[in-house]
Structure 1
Amino acid sequence: MMRPAFSRLPVAVDLPLLLQALAAIEDERWQGHFNSAYHSGDWSGVALISAADAVTELAPGRGQPLHRAPWSKDGRWHEALRDWPLEIVSARLLRLGPGGCIHEHRDYDLGGPDADLRLHVPLLSPPEVDFFLDGQIIPMRAGECWFLDLARPHRVDNRSAAPRVHLVLDCRPGPWLEQQIADGLPTTPAAGAGQSDLVRFQRRVEADPYLARALQSLHDPDAFIASALALGAEQGLYFTREELRAAMRNGRQRWRDQWKT
């Protein structure tokens, strides 16, 4: 069976206990994310479990998983996850500050047939946070657990005045986890639902020769972006320059190329 791109898992999350453990973490433990080119604003984290050979505690590695403080010193993390039979190779808290953006990118190390499976458990999740996966909004709420195939293009916008904090677990594939992903909850949105205005505009252009011709002659990227923004607004579709640039950076050069052929 083909694994879905995302799934809200039918598991119970002890959110109050996880929030207690989160509140006990000292401010100085939060480190800036190693992928500094992938974000604007505060994107920081705390490593709970990471590879012994990782360049930094938040970075990936191939060594033995090492339990780091506060995981090794605060039993509340173990207690909250004790009913999940997972082989966890990496556990991190990732925080996106108010107004912060994680630009569109792919985590290619998660794309192989034997790759780890990544779970997101939102702990602090303001409603003004938009998480896009393959152009679709994934409506994650605090106290839920989601599998996300982040080898696909994804980005995050925090439009709120509060931080977003997720517990992110990388786990080895196994029968129990695969079954939870396959089962999913009925609240998991259908693929293609909740698409961004950028994706809606792209599909309209592909279906509308007038819109396609309006963009075909624009060889300058800045002129292309300005025209796409204006045409999108005429259609009642609103997106940002950064969204367009990210789409063109991450395997969607066809946005311009296919319309010029």
Structure 2
Amino acid sequence: MSEPVLAFAKLDLSMEALNFSDDLEVARSHEWISHVNTKYYQGGWDVLPLVVPQEHLNNHIILQSFSHNCESPWVESQYLKRLPNIKAQIARFECEVLSVRLMRLHPNSSIRPHRDAGLSIEASSQARIHIPLEISPDVLFQVDGVSVPMEENSVWYINADAVHSVKNNGNTPRVNLVVDCNVNEWLFKLIMASKEKTYCCEKVS
């Protein structure tokens, strides 16, 4: 019998001491870049890069946002330097942090069902973490057809190797802090210790 595959899990990383409203106000003042995979979405979906490949630190924002297979170290971008509370939250990850982005899904927009092949704790040594900083009950985030009960400032491991999709049926943007990182013992234990875990209906292959 094959091992069950985790779809998503809520992580115990409290953010009660952090207030992201000022950071979000600063972030909104910058020019975000539309997601390059236009076939993945309808409406508006854009990105502000916060941790980027060092080789693209002084390059165009599109290279900072979407270059994920670089061998150079990952470093903080010019935008992260002005976001102290978001920077403090990223620093709480006791593992190697790779790409970090703010991802904004505009009102009445949707991200079509898709997979990010290999991005899960079962398929590789990497994991994707979602932290909703601005969200409403009108946002539906699904993994393997199951809704993820995301609330503002909660922290979620998402199996991006499974089919997932997002719909923002509300009148306000949804802004998630998205952290890609290498899985070590600390992160693996944090994910598996979650009291709110959901497994995929079928093994992802």
Question: How high is the TM-score relative to the length of structure 2?
Answer: 0.83
Cα deviation, residue 17, structure 1? 2.3
**Superposition CA RMSD, Å:** 2.4
**C-alpha distance 11-45 of structure 1, shift in aligned 2 (>3 A):** same
Cα deviation, residue 106, structure 1? 0.3
What code does the residue aligned with 2:31 have? Answer: R
Cα deviation, residue 109, structure 1? 4.2
SS of match in other structure, 1:181: helix
Q: Which runs of 5+ in 2 are unaligned?
A: 57-61
SS of match in other structure, 2:170: coil
- Confirm or deny that 1:97 pairs with 2:106: yes
1:195-248 Cα distance to aligned partner (Å, 9 max, x none)? xxxxxxxxxxxxxxxxxxxxxxxxxxxxxxxxxxxxxxxxxxxxxxxxxxxxxx
Distance in 1, matches of 2:13 and 2:28, equals: 29
**C-alpha distance 86-23 of structure 1, shift in aligned 2 (>3 A):** farther
Say if 2:9 and 2:198, in contact at 8 Å, map to a contact too: no
| Number of matched pairs | 192
Partner of 2:156: 146
SS of match in other structure, 1:93: strand
Distance in 1, matches of 2:154 and 2:23, equals: 17
Cα deviation, residue 15, structure 1? 7.3
Distance in 2, matches of 1:126 and 1:72, equals: 27
Distance in 2, matches of 1:141 and 1:19, equals: 15
Percent identity (aligned) = 25
What code does the residue aligned with 1:48 have? Answer: L
SS of match in other structure, 2:161: coil
Larger helix fraction of residues: 1
Q: Which runs of 5+ in 1 are unaligned?
A: 194-250, 252-261
What code does the residue aligned with 1:30 have? Answer: W
Distance in 2, matches of 1:164 and 1:73, equals: 21
**C-alpha distance 61-51 of structure 1, shift in aligned 2 (>3 A):** farther
Distance in 1, matches of 2:28 and 2:139, equals: 24
SS of match in other structure, 1:25: helix
Partner of 2:184: 174
1:138-174 Cα distance to aligned partner (Å, 9 max, x none)? 1111110000111110111101011000000001111
After TM superposition, the structure 1 = structure 2 runs for residues 22-171 of structure 1, keeping only pairs within 5 Å, are: 22-52=24-54, 56-59=63-66, 60-63=68-71, 64-111=73-120, 113-171=123-181
SS of match in other structure, 2:6: coil
Say if 1:5 and 1:148, in contact at 8 Å, map to a contact too: yes
What code does the residue aligned with 1:125 have? Answer: I
Say if 2:142 and 2:166, in contact at 8 Å, map to a contact too: yes
**C-alpha distance 142-26 of structure 1, shift in aligned 2 (>3 A):** closer
SS of match in other structure, 1:22: helix
1:21-42 Cα distance to aligned partner (Å, 9 max, x none)? 1211243431101111100111
Say if 2:144 and 2:162, in contact at 8 Å, map to a contact too: yes
Task: Give the number of the structure whose alpha-carbon radius of gyration is greater.
Answer: 1
Higher relative contact order (CA 8 A, sep 6+): 2
1:68-93 Cα distance to aligned partner (Å, 9 max, x none)? 12213443323234433131111100
Distance in 2, matches of 1:160 and 1:62, equals: 36
**C-alpha distance 2-175 of structure 1, shift in aligned 2 (>3 A):** farther
Cα deviation, residue 57, structure 1? 1.7
